[in-house]
A and B are shown apart, each in its own frame.
Chain A
Protein backbone atom coordinates (compact mmCIF):
# COMPACT_ATOMS: atom_id res chain seq x y z
CA UNK A 1 0.00 0.00 0.00
CA UNK A 2 1.31 3.38 -0.91
CA UNK A 3 1.48 6.09 1.69
CA UNK A 4 -1.56 8.39 1.76
CA UNK A 5 -0.35 11.50 -0.06
CA UNK A 6 -2.83 14.12 1.06
CA UNK A 7 -2.51 13.74 4.83
CA UNK A 8 -2.59 17.54 5.12
CA UNK A 9 -6.31 17.52 4.25
CA UNK A 10 -7.02 15.27 7.19
CA UNK A 11 -4.97 17.48 9.46
CA UNK A 12 -6.95 20.51 8.38
CA UNK A 13 -10.25 18.78 9.07
CA UNK A 14 -8.92 17.69 12.44
CA UNK A 15 -7.81 21.26 13.19
CA UNK A 16 -11.23 22.67 12.26
CA UNK A 17 -12.93 20.02 14.41
CA UNK A 18 -10.61 20.73 17.35
CA UNK A 19 -11.25 24.48 17.01
CA UNK A 20 -14.98 23.78 16.99
CA UNK A 21 -14.76 21.65 20.12
CA UNK A 22 -12.63 24.24 21.92
CA UNK A 23 -15.00 27.02 20.81
CA UNK A 24 -17.98 25.04 22.09
CA UNK A 25 -16.36 24.33 25.44
CA UNK A 26 -15.27 27.96 25.90
CA UNK A 27 -18.64 29.41 24.83
CA UNK A 28 -20.49 26.98 27.06
CA UNK A 29 -18.34 27.91 30.03
CA UNK A 30 -19.00 31.61 29.38
CA UNK A 31 -22.71 31.46 28.53
CA UNK A 32 -24.06 28.86 30.96
CA UNK A 33 -24.48 30.39 34.44
CA UNK A 34 -22.42 28.86 37.18
CA UNK A 35 -25.40 27.67 39.18
CA UNK A 36 -27.11 25.96 36.22
CA UNK A 37 -27.51 22.29 37.06
CA UNK A 38 -26.84 22.79 40.76
CA UNK A 39 -30.16 21.11 41.68
CA UNK A 40 -31.53 20.18 38.24
CA UNK A 41 -31.93 21.48 34.71
CA UNK A 42 -32.29 25.11 35.82
CA UNK A 43 -30.36 28.02 37.34
CA UNK A 44 -29.92 27.24 41.03
CA UNK A 45 -29.49 30.92 41.88
CA UNK A 46 -33.03 31.59 40.59
CA UNK A 47 -34.30 30.03 43.84
CA UNK A 48 -32.37 32.59 45.91
CA UNK A 49 -33.55 35.42 43.68
CA UNK A 50 -37.22 34.45 44.03
CA UNK A 51 -36.80 34.06 47.81
CA UNK A 52 -35.20 37.52 48.05
CA UNK A 53 -38.48 39.35 47.28
CA UNK A 54 -39.70 41.83 49.90
CA UNK A 55 -42.54 40.75 52.18
CA UNK A 56 -45.68 42.96 52.03
CA UNK A 57 -47.88 41.22 54.61
CA UNK A 58 -46.08 41.32 57.95
CA UNK A 59 -47.88 38.30 59.43
CA UNK A 60 -49.92 38.28 62.62
CA UNK A 61 -46.97 37.24 64.83
CA UNK A 62 -45.25 40.51 63.93
CA UNK A 63 -48.39 42.53 64.76
CA UNK A 64 -48.78 40.79 68.11
CA UNK A 65 -45.31 41.77 69.31
CA UNK A 66 -46.61 45.35 69.76
CA UNK A 67 -50.42 45.01 69.79
CA UNK A 68 -50.75 42.27 72.40
CA UNK A 69 -53.68 44.14 74.01
CA UNK A 70 -55.74 43.80 70.82
CA UNK A 71 -54.74 40.19 70.23
CA UNK A 72 -55.76 39.21 73.76
CA UNK A 73 -59.23 40.71 73.18
CA UNK A 74 -59.45 39.07 69.77
CA UNK A 75 -58.40 35.64 71.02
CA UNK A 76 -61.44 35.60 73.36
CA UNK A 77 -63.97 36.47 70.67
CA UNK A 78 -65.50 35.08 67.50
CA UNK A 79 -62.78 36.65 65.35
CA UNK A 80 -59.97 34.74 67.08
CA UNK A 81 -59.05 32.94 63.85
CA UNK A 82 -59.07 36.09 61.71
CA UNK A 83 -55.56 37.45 61.22
CA UNK A 84 -54.93 41.19 61.65
CA UNK A 85 -54.11 41.86 58.01
CA UNK A 86 -57.25 40.08 56.77
CA UNK A 87 -59.09 43.32 57.62
CA UNK A 88 -56.37 45.92 58.13
CA UNK A 89 -54.57 45.09 54.87
CA UNK A 90 -50.87 44.51 54.16
CA UNK A 91 -48.81 46.39 56.75
CA UNK A 92 -45.21 45.19 56.61
CA UNK A 93 -44.15 48.79 55.94
CA UNK A 94 -45.95 49.89 59.13
CA UNK A 95 -44.16 47.12 61.08
CA UNK A 96 -40.84 48.35 59.68
CA UNK A 97 -41.52 51.99 60.52
CA UNK A 98 -44.43 52.27 62.99
CA UNK A 99 -43.80 55.97 63.64
CA UNK A 100 -44.38 57.45 60.22
CA UNK A 101 -46.48 54.87 58.37
CA UNK A 102 -49.94 54.62 59.88
CA UNK A 103 -52.53 52.04 58.80
CA UNK A 104 -55.49 53.54 56.89
CA UNK A 105 -58.78 53.98 58.73
CA UNK A 106 -61.20 51.22 57.83
CA UNK A 107 -64.81 51.55 56.72
CA UNK A 108 -66.68 48.79 58.52
CA UNK A 109 -69.73 49.30 56.27
CA UNK A 110 -67.66 47.95 53.37
CA UNK A 111 -65.36 45.60 55.23
CA UNK A 112 -67.79 43.61 57.40
CA UNK A 113 -70.25 43.12 54.56
CA UNK A 114 -67.59 41.46 52.38
CA UNK A 115 -67.77 38.42 54.62
CA UNK A 116 -71.15 38.71 56.34
CA UNK A 117 -73.59 39.77 53.56
CA UNK A 118 -75.92 36.89 52.86
CA UNK A 119 -74.85 34.71 49.92
CA UNK A 120 -76.32 31.36 48.99
CA UNK A 121 -72.92 29.84 48.30
CA UNK A 122 -71.58 30.61 51.79
CA UNK A 123 -71.56 27.80 54.37
CA UNK A 124 -74.97 27.68 56.10
CA UNK A 125 -73.48 27.92 59.61
CA UNK A 126 -71.55 31.11 58.78
CA UNK A 127 -73.17 34.22 60.35
CA UNK A 128 -74.77 36.24 57.53
CA UNK A 129 -77.01 39.30 57.40
CA UNK A 130 -78.88 41.31 54.81
CA UNK A 131 -77.12 44.63 55.35
CA UNK A 132 -80.05 46.81 54.27
CA UNK A 133 -82.46 45.14 56.69
CA UNK A 134 -79.91 44.69 59.47
CA UNK A 135 -78.71 48.29 59.47
CA UNK A 136 -81.22 50.56 57.73
CA UNK A 137 -79.70 53.74 59.16
CA UNK A 138 -76.33 52.88 57.66
CA UNK A 139 -74.59 53.25 60.98
CA UNK A 140 -71.01 52.01 61.02
CA UNK A 141 -70.95 48.39 62.26
CA UNK A 142 -68.68 49.27 65.17
CA UNK A 143 -71.52 51.34 66.71
CA UNK A 144 -72.80 48.05 68.15
CA UNK A 145 -70.16 45.40 67.35
CA UNK A 146 -66.57 45.62 68.55
CA UNK A 147 -64.76 44.30 65.46
CA UNK A 148 -62.12 42.44 67.50
CA UNK A 149 -64.79 40.61 69.50
CA UNK A 150 -68.03 41.15 67.58
CA UNK A 151 -70.68 39.43 69.69
CA UNK A 152 -72.76 42.14 71.44
CA UNK A 153 -72.28 41.91 75.19
CA UNK A 154 -69.05 39.94 74.87
CA UNK A 155 -67.47 42.40 77.28
CA UNK A 156 -65.27 44.18 74.75
CA UNK A 157 -65.79 47.89 74.42
CA UNK A 158 -67.28 48.99 71.09
Chain B
Protein backbone atom coordinates (compact mmCIF):
# COMPACT_ATOMS: atom_id res chain seq x y z
CA UNK B 1 0.00 0.00 0.00
CA UNK B 2 1.34 3.38 -0.97
CA UNK B 3 0.61 6.42 1.08
CA UNK B 4 1.58 9.96 0.51
CA UNK B 5 2.92 12.08 3.31
CA UNK B 6 -0.29 14.09 3.14
CA UNK B 7 -2.43 10.98 3.70
CA UNK B 8 -0.33 9.91 6.67
CA UNK B 9 -0.64 13.37 8.20
CA UNK B 10 -4.41 13.22 7.79
CA UNK B 11 -4.67 9.71 9.25
CA UNK B 12 -2.46 10.35 12.30
CA UNK B 13 -4.96 12.46 14.28
CA UNK B 14 -7.74 10.01 13.40
CA UNK B 15 -5.65 7.15 14.76
CA UNK B 16 -4.96 9.18 17.91
CA UNK B 17 -8.68 9.72 18.48
CA UNK B 18 -9.39 6.03 17.93
CA UNK B 19 -6.63 4.98 20.33
CA UNK B 20 -7.94 7.43 22.91
CA UNK B 21 -11.36 5.78 22.69
CA UNK B 22 -9.77 2.35 23.14
CA UNK B 23 -7.91 3.51 26.26
CA UNK B 24 -11.01 5.08 27.79
CA UNK B 25 -12.93 1.81 27.71
CA UNK B 26 -16.69 1.45 27.70
CA UNK B 27 -18.64 3.51 30.24
CA UNK B 28 -21.25 0.80 30.77
CA UNK B 29 -20.74 -2.93 30.82
CA UNK B 30 -24.46 -3.76 30.83
CA UNK B 31 -25.24 -3.18 27.15
CA UNK B 32 -28.98 -2.66 27.49
CA UNK B 33 -28.80 -0.27 30.43
CA UNK B 34 -28.81 3.43 29.58
CA UNK B 35 -27.88 5.79 32.41
CA UNK B 36 -29.98 8.62 31.02
CA UNK B 37 -33.18 6.59 30.74
CA UNK B 38 -33.71 6.00 34.47
CA UNK B 39 -34.33 8.08 37.58
CA UNK B 40 -34.46 5.83 40.60
CA UNK B 41 -36.37 6.25 43.83
CA UNK B 42 -38.28 4.08 46.25
CA UNK B 43 -41.75 3.89 47.69
CA UNK B 44 -42.29 2.78 51.30
CA UNK B 45 -45.84 1.95 52.32
CA UNK B 46 -45.92 2.23 56.11
CA UNK B 47 -49.40 0.72 56.29
CA UNK B 48 -47.94 -2.54 54.90
CA UNK B 49 -44.77 -2.84 57.00
CA UNK B 50 -44.95 -5.67 59.54
CA UNK B 51 -41.48 -5.14 61.05
CA UNK B 52 -40.19 -8.62 60.22
CA UNK B 53 -36.67 -7.36 59.50
CA UNK B 54 -36.39 -9.25 56.21
CA UNK B 55 -35.14 -6.12 54.41
CA UNK B 56 -32.40 -5.51 56.98
CA UNK B 57 -31.13 -9.08 56.77
CA UNK B 58 -31.36 -9.18 52.98
CA UNK B 59 -29.43 -5.93 52.66
CA UNK B 60 -26.67 -7.20 54.94
CA UNK B 61 -26.33 -10.41 52.91
CA UNK B 62 -26.50 -8.77 49.49
CA UNK B 63 -24.10 -5.94 50.26
CA UNK B 64 -21.81 -7.52 52.83
CA UNK B 65 -22.72 -4.92 55.48
CA UNK B 66 -20.58 -5.37 58.64
CA UNK B 67 -22.28 -6.59 61.83
CA UNK B 68 -23.67 -3.69 63.83
CA UNK B 69 -23.91 -1.32 60.83
CA UNK B 70 -26.94 -0.76 58.65
CA UNK B 71 -27.61 0.48 55.16
CA UNK B 72 -31.29 0.07 55.90
CA UNK B 73 -33.03 -0.41 59.21
CA UNK B 74 -36.54 -0.47 60.67
CA UNK B 75 -37.73 1.76 63.51
CA UNK B 76 -40.74 1.12 65.71
CA UNK B 77 -42.69 4.21 66.72
CA UNK B 78 -44.94 4.50 69.73
CA UNK B 79 -46.97 7.69 69.85
CA UNK B 80 -48.89 8.10 73.09
CA UNK B 81 -52.39 9.55 73.05
CA UNK B 82 -51.28 12.53 75.16
CA UNK B 83 -48.02 13.50 73.50
CA UNK B 84 -48.24 13.43 69.73
CA UNK B 85 -44.96 15.17 68.97
CA UNK B 86 -42.56 13.15 71.14
CA UNK B 87 -42.76 9.54 69.99
CA UNK B 88 -40.85 6.70 71.65
CA UNK B 89 -38.67 5.08 68.99
CA UNK B 90 -36.78 1.83 69.26
CA UNK B 91 -34.86 -0.25 66.76
CA UNK B 92 -33.16 -3.24 68.45
CA UNK B 93 -30.22 -4.26 66.20
CA UNK B 94 -31.81 -2.25 63.39
CA UNK B 95 -34.87 -4.49 63.53
CA UNK B 96 -32.77 -7.29 62.06
CA UNK B 97 -34.29 -9.98 64.28
CA UNK B 98 -37.72 -8.42 64.51
CA UNK B 99 -39.24 -6.58 67.45
CA UNK B 100 -40.10 -8.00 70.88
CA UNK B 101 -43.66 -7.19 72.01
CA UNK B 102 -43.90 -3.76 73.62
CA UNK B 103 -44.84 -3.59 77.26
CA UNK B 104 -47.76 -1.27 77.89
CA UNK B 105 -50.69 -0.89 75.55
CA UNK B 106 -52.42 2.09 74.01
CA UNK B 107 -51.28 4.83 71.74
CA UNK B 108 -50.37 4.47 68.11
CA UNK B 109 -47.73 1.94 67.06
CA UNK B 110 -46.19 1.43 63.64
CA UNK B 111 -42.95 0.55 61.85
CA UNK B 112 -40.90 2.91 59.68
CA UNK B 113 -38.26 1.37 57.38
CA UNK B 114 -35.41 3.77 56.78
CA UNK B 115 -32.51 4.03 54.35
CA UNK B 116 -30.77 6.50 52.08
CA UNK B 117 -33.26 8.91 50.50
CA UNK B 118 -31.19 9.23 47.31
CA UNK B 119 -31.69 12.99 47.36
CA UNK B 120 -31.46 15.04 44.19
CA UNK B 121 -29.73 17.88 46.05
CA UNK B 122 -28.03 15.69 48.60
CA UNK B 123 -26.11 17.46 51.38
CA UNK B 124 -23.69 14.52 51.62
CA UNK B 125 -22.36 14.82 48.07
CA UNK B 126 -21.98 18.58 48.38
CA UNK B 127 -19.53 18.37 51.28
CA UNK B 128 -17.22 15.70 49.83
CA UNK B 129 -13.80 17.32 49.36
CA UNK B 130 -12.48 14.78 46.83
CA UNK B 131 -15.43 13.95 44.59
CA UNK B 132 -15.78 10.47 46.08
CA UNK B 133 -19.53 10.58 46.59
CA UNK B 134 -21.93 11.75 43.95
CA UNK B 135 -25.36 11.39 42.37
CA UNK B 136 -25.16 9.15 39.32
CA UNK B 137 -26.87 10.31 36.11
CA UNK B 138 -29.72 7.91 36.96
CA UNK B 139 -30.29 9.45 40.40
CA UNK B 140 -28.52 7.12 42.83
CA UNK B 141 -26.18 8.47 45.53
CA UNK B 142 -23.08 6.25 45.72
CA UNK B 143 -19.56 6.26 47.17
CA UNK B 144 -16.41 5.71 45.11
CA UNK B 145 -14.39 3.57 47.55
CA UNK B 146 -11.15 4.16 45.66
CA UNK B 147 -11.47 7.91 46.05
CA UNK B 148 -12.95 8.18 49.56
CA UNK B 149 -10.39 9.38 52.10
CA UNK B 150 -12.59 8.55 55.12
CA UNK B 151 -12.90 12.12 56.38
CA UNK B 152 -16.52 11.52 57.57
CA UNK B 153 -17.85 14.90 56.36
CA UNK B 154 -20.65 13.20 54.44
CA UNK B 155 -21.62 11.10 57.47
CA UNK B 156 -22.20 14.29 59.46
CA UNK B 157 -23.91 16.04 56.58
CA UNK B 158 -26.61 13.43 55.96
CA UNK B 159 -29.78 14.71 57.68
CA UNK B 160 -31.23 11.19 57.74
CA UNK B 161 -28.27 9.44 59.41
CA UNK B 162 -27.94 6.98 56.55
CA UNK B 163 -24.13 6.82 56.27
CA UNK B 164 -21.45 5.11 58.32
CA UNK B 165 -17.73 4.52 58.16
CA UNK B 166 -17.13 0.94 57.11
CA UNK B 167 -14.57 -0.46 59.60
CA UNK B 168 -13.21 -2.91 56.99
CA UNK B 169 -12.56 -0.49 54.14
CA UNK B 170 -12.36 2.67 56.30
CA UNK B 171 -14.40 4.51 53.71
CA UNK B 172 -17.86 6.00 53.87
CA UNK B 173 -20.52 3.39 53.21
CA UNK B 174 -24.19 3.65 52.43
CA UNK B 175 -27.13 2.22 50.50
CA UNK B 176 -26.37 2.02 46.77
CA UNK B 177 -30.02 1.22 45.99
CA UNK B 178 -28.48 -2.14 44.99
CA UNK B 179 -26.98 -0.43 41.95
CA UNK B 180 -25.47 -3.75 40.81
CA UNK B 181 -29.00 -5.21 40.73
CA UNK B 182 -31.12 -2.41 39.30
CA UNK B 183 -28.71 -1.95 36.38
CA UNK B 184 -29.28 -5.63 35.55
CA UNK B 185 -33.06 -5.29 35.58
CA UNK B 186 -33.55 -6.76 39.07
CA UNK B 187 -35.16 -5.04 42.02
CA UNK B 188 -33.21 -4.22 45.19
CA UNK B 189 -32.48 -6.93 47.78
CA UNK B 190 -34.76 -5.27 50.35
CA UNK B 191 -37.67 -5.08 47.90
CA UNK B 192 -37.05 -8.68 46.80
CA UNK B 193 -37.14 -9.90 50.41
CA UNK B 194 -40.07 -7.76 51.61
CA UNK B 195 -43.00 -10.17 52.09
CA UNK B 196 -45.77 -7.57 52.07
CA UNK B 197 -44.67 -5.25 49.27
CA UNK B 198 -44.11 -2.40 51.71
CA UNK B 199 -41.06 -1.42 49.69
CA UNK B 200 -41.23 -0.81 45.95
CA UNK B 201 -38.38 0.24 43.73
CA UNK B 202 -39.52 3.09 41.48
CA UNK B 203 -38.15 4.31 38.17
CA UNK B 204 -39.49 7.85 37.90
CA UNK B 205 -38.42 8.17 34.25
CA UNK B 206 -40.36 5.06 33.22
CA UNK B 207 -43.88 6.23 32.28
CA UNK B 208 -45.35 2.74 32.83
CA UNK B 209 -43.95 2.39 36.36
CA UNK B 210 -46.84 2.03 38.87
CA UNK B 211 -45.20 4.72 41.04
CA UNK B 212 -46.83 7.48 38.98
CA UNK B 213 -50.37 6.24 39.57
CA UNK B 214 -49.53 5.67 43.24
CA UNK B 215 -48.17 9.20 43.74
CA UNK B 216 -51.30 10.65 42.09
CA UNK B 217 -53.76 8.72 44.21
CA UNK B 218 -52.11 8.63 47.66
CA UNK B 219 -50.98 11.14 50.25
CA UNK B 220 -47.25 10.55 49.91
CA UNK B 221 -44.60 12.42 51.86
CA UNK B 222 -40.82 12.50 52.15
CA UNK B 223 -38.81 12.84 55.37
CA UNK B 224 -37.68 16.36 56.38
CA UNK B 225 -39.15 18.13 53.35
CA UNK B 226 -38.19 21.50 54.87
CA UNK B 227 -34.52 20.67 54.24
CA UNK B 228 -35.20 20.72 50.47
CA UNK B 229 -32.94 17.77 49.84
CA UNK B 230 -35.13 16.48 47.01
CA UNK B 231 -35.52 13.11 48.73
CA UNK B 232 -36.75 10.28 46.50
CA UNK B 233 -37.75 7.87 49.28
CA UNK B 234 -41.50 8.33 49.22
CA UNK B 235 -43.52 7.33 52.28
CA UNK B 236 -47.19 6.46 52.11
CA UNK B 237 -49.21 6.83 55.34
CA UNK B 238 -46.38 8.66 57.10
CA UNK B 239 -47.29 9.88 60.58
CA UNK B 240 -46.45 13.48 61.45
CA UNK B 241 -44.41 12.35 64.43
CA UNK B 242 -41.78 10.58 62.29
CA UNK B 243 -38.44 12.37 62.23
Contact = CB atoms under 8 A, between A and B. Distances in A.
B142 A55 contact: no
B80 interface: no
A46 interface: yes
A59 B186 CA distance: 7
Contacts of B51: 119, 121-122
A90 B134 CA distance: 29
Contact of B50 (A34, A59, A123): A123
A124 to B, nearest CB: 10
A52 B101 CA distance: 41
- SS class, residues of chain B in contact with chain A: loop
Contacts of A42: 131-134, 144, 147
Nearest to A81: B197
Contact of A121 (B76, B144, B192): B76
A43 B147 contact: yes
A51 B134 CA distance: 15
Contact of B101 (A35, A45, A119): A119
Contacts of B111: 121-122
B29 A48 contact: yes
Interface string A119-157: 111110010000000000000000000000000000000
A9 interface: no
Interface residues of B, number: 58
B29 A59 contact: no
A48 B27 contact: yes
Contacts of B1: none
A50 B109 contact: no
Interface in B16-44: 23-30, 33, 35
Q: Which of A48, A81, A121, A122 has the most CB of B within 10 A?
A: A121
B146 interface: yes
Interface string B116-151: 000000000000000111111100001010110000
Contact of B47 (A60, A89, A123): A123
A56 B189 contact: yes
B61 interface: yes
B199 to A, nearest CB: 11
Interface string A39-69: 1111111111111111111011000000000
Nearest to B192: A57
Contact of B180 (A44, A55, A82): A55
Given A47-B27, A50-B142, A86-B195, 15 more contacts: A39-B137, A43-B144, A49-B144, A50-B179, A56-B62, A57-B61, A59-B187, A82-B196, A85-B58, A86-B194, A90-B61, A114-B53, A114-B54, A119-B101, A120-B109
